[in-house]
A = this chain, B = another copy of it.
Amino acid sequence: MLRLLRAQSVLEARLSPELGSVHGLGLNELLLLMQLGRAPLHRLRRVDLAARLNTSQSTITRMTAPLEKTGLVKRESDPRDSRVGYVALTKTGRTRVAETEITLQRMAEEIFRDRWSDKDIATLAGLLGRFTATLPGDIA
């Protein structure tokens, strides 16, 4: 179990810098945008987004501010309930996510290429899924 904690830090240390330098997005920003990309209408309420990213609402507020400025994301309101603010992917945002996901995919292949069979990967994903299953918006 302790290995899970360590493995994450190894992985993050490897992924984060390249994503940042190539696409100007932090790993967490990418994960946020990916959640939006998979949501209906490419948008989510801020509370739901926080739950999916297993983080706090205040983090969402602060993370989305710069993304709005760069135009990857925009605010939308709910006519039924004026408390809620949706975070919605813009068209620019969608293309940017797509590009970055390709890079991520390439890096994943690079990491797994050596000693991992497809079966190993599937097994790992399955076992880890038991942890992440408690979260909404689980990602394959």
Contact = CB atoms under 8 A, between A and B. Distances in A.
A134 interface: yes
Interface of A is mostly: helix
Number of copies: 2
A135 interface: yes
Given A108-B1, A139-B2, A128 B7 contact: yes
A62 to B, nearest CB: 17
Contacts of A6: 54, 128, 131-132, 135, 138-139
A110 B25 CA distance: 37
Nearest to A115: B130
Contact of A3 (B5, B134, B139): B139
Interface in A81-140: 108, 111-112, 115-116, 120, 123-125, 127-132, 134-135, 138-140
Interface of A: 1-13, 27, 31, 34, 54-55, 108, 111-112, 115-116, 120, 123-125, 127-132, 134-135, 138-140
25 contacts: A3-B125, A3-B132, A3-B139, A4-B8, A5-B8, A5-B11, A5-B27, A6-B54, A6-B131, A6-B132, A6-B135, A6-B138, A7-B131, A10-B54, A10-B131, A10-B134, A10-B135, A11-B131, A13-B54, A115-B130, A116-B130, A123-B123, A123-B127, A124-B124, A124-B128
